[in-house]
Structure formats: C-alpha cells, structure tokens
Amino acid sequence: MERKLIVTEDGSNSIFVPELNEHYHSTHGAVQESMHVFIEAGLKPMLQKKQKINILEVGLGTGLNAALSFLETELKKVQINYIGIEAYPLSLSEGSQLNFHEIIGGDKMRECIMKIHSSNRKYPFYLGENFILNYLEAKLEDIQFPNDSFDLVYFDAFSPGVQPELWTKEVFQKLYNAMRFEGWLLTYSSKGEVRRTMEECGFEVDKLPGVGGKREMSRAFKKIADFHHHEH
Ligand SMILES: C[S@@+](CC[C@H](N)C(=O)[O-])C[C@H]1O[C@@H](n2cnc3c(N)ncnc32)[C@H](O)[C@@H]1O
C-alpha cells in the first residue's frame, strides 16, 4: 500500500493512503486531533482514577498516540502498559521523517517516535521508566485478548466508510470483553450506526464535542449498573 507524508493544518505530519483515499488523521491537525480524542477525553480523566493503566491502541500507525500518552504520564507516579496493534507498520525511514517533535514535546517526542519505529516488534520495550510499549504487528481480527484487561482502548482504525470490517459488533464485543469495568473506548467517529453497534455490545456511549471539522466524537463506557434492590 502506497503511503504519502503530508502536512496538516496545525503543522504536524500525517499520512495519506491514495488507494483508500484516506488520511491517518484529520487534515485540520494530527496532533490537535490525537490530543483531543485520546489524551483529553481518555487518558487524562483515567489518570484521575487509576495509577496503573493498561491501554490498547487499534492501529498504532505513526506512533503519535503512544508518544503523546508517554509525554502526558512521564512525570507522574503511574505505570502504563501500552499495547499497540498495527497491521501495516511504518518503516524506520517513514517514521524518521515525522515532524511531531516540532509541534509538541521536542527531543522527547523525537526519541519516542524513533524508538517506536526502530522496534523489531518482537518484545515489549520501555518508552520510559514507567511506560512499557508492546508494539504488535498483527490484524485486530486475528488477535484474542484476555478478559478484563484494558482501562482504555484508543480505537483509531480507518473510517467506517473505508474499513467497515473493523466497526462490527463482533469487533466491538471482543474489545468490550477485553476491557476492564469503568474503562473507556475512544473514537473520533460519532456515526449513529457505530454508536448503536457499541451499545448492542453493552457499552454506554457518550457524545463529546469533536475537533478538526468533526462536530462530535464518541466515548464508550464499560459500565457497572447502579443496582437498587426495592423491598415491597
Ligand atoms: C486512521 S490510521 C491511525 C494511525 C495511528 N493511530 C496514528 O495516529 O498514526 C489507522 C491505522 O490502522 C491500521 N490498520 C488498518 N487495518 C488494520 C487492522 N486490521 N488491524 C490493525 N491495524 C490496522 C492502518 O495501517 C493505520 O496505521
């Protein structure tokens, strides 16, 4: 699959896939979108609740979400275990052209991105003292997860229009089962059909304000019911 490096409106790079006519991020700003959807709506509120956080990313791609998650948690007393699944990994040469460090994080960002794309994807490695990254080359459809494992799922697949097979009940049910109670799955998509599919799997789905040309995004919660026993 051919891939082209592009520059989005906040100055940060993204990648365009001509074959799918699809970008890896919003063309209004890659860093802006990742910060909004995954860090602000997911990681930051989770940091208020827990100190040991397991994150699953579907579609690790450029590594931007993993690197931003590292920058956000590096100086905090937390332990992050991050699994990033990617079916079509970037080469080291593609990774080294990314300019995220010019927009946010400077040398630390650069170092993260280089570490990620130098990985042989065989063993987990430390992005920092408190942050283990397990970069897996695989298709989401082919992986089985243990139950009750993830506090956050960054669902960053290509859009439902170009990749409908990743937005199915089967896939969301697998992710629901793999998540811990009171965990969140985040996605930039707010399509009604996507939300309904997630609700069928047991999620409680909130619409949050979107970013970069999207009015809304979705945050799906693996809820524990408030159970009230009524005596009659
Ligand atoms: C919208 S891009 C987002 C990439 C990434 N999160 C980033 O910030 O750069 C979707 C990513 O999902 C990957 N992908 C496509 N099909 C996949 C599959 N079946 N399983 C896992 N990843 C897949 C693509 O190669 C691409 O890197």
If pLDDT is split at 50, 70 and 90, which confidence band does 231 have? low
Q: Order the strands of the 52-58 sheet from edge to edge.
A: 125-128, 131-137, 79-86, 52-58, 150-155, 179-187, 216-221, 204-209
State the distance from the centre of ligand 1 to the C-alpha of 24, rounded, in angstroms. Answer: 7
Kindly tell me if the per-residue pLDDT of 41 is higher than 90.
yes
Q: Whole-angstrom distance between the N-terminal and C-terminal Cα of the chain? A: 64
Mean pLDDT of 145-162: 97
Q: Domains in the chain, start-ordered, CATH in brackets?
A: 29-221 (3.40.50.150)
Tell me the percentage of the chain whose pLDDT exceeds 70: 99
Per-residue tokens: 58: 């579907």
Q: So what's the pLDDT on residue 168? A: 98
pLDDT, tens digit, 9 for 90 and up, residues 89-123: 999 999 999 999 999 999 999 999 999 999 999 99
Mean pLDDT of 178-193: 97
Write down the mean pLDDT value for the chain.
96
Q: Does the Cβ of 87 fall within 6 Å of ligand 1?
A: yes
Nearest ligand 1 atom to the CA of 86 is 22
Nearest ligand 1 atom to the CA of 163 is 16
Mean pLDDT of 139-156: 97
- Helix residue ranges per DSSP H, the chain: 30-34, 44-47, 64-73, 92-96, 100-103, 106-118, 169-178, 192-200
For the chain, give percent helix, strand, coil, nearest 5: 30, 30, 40
Q: So what's the pLDDT on residue 225? A: 82
* Cα four-point dihedral sign 37, 40, 44, 45: negative
Q: So what's the pLDDT on residue 226? A: 79
Kindly tell me if the per-residue pLDDT of 201 is higher than 80.
yes
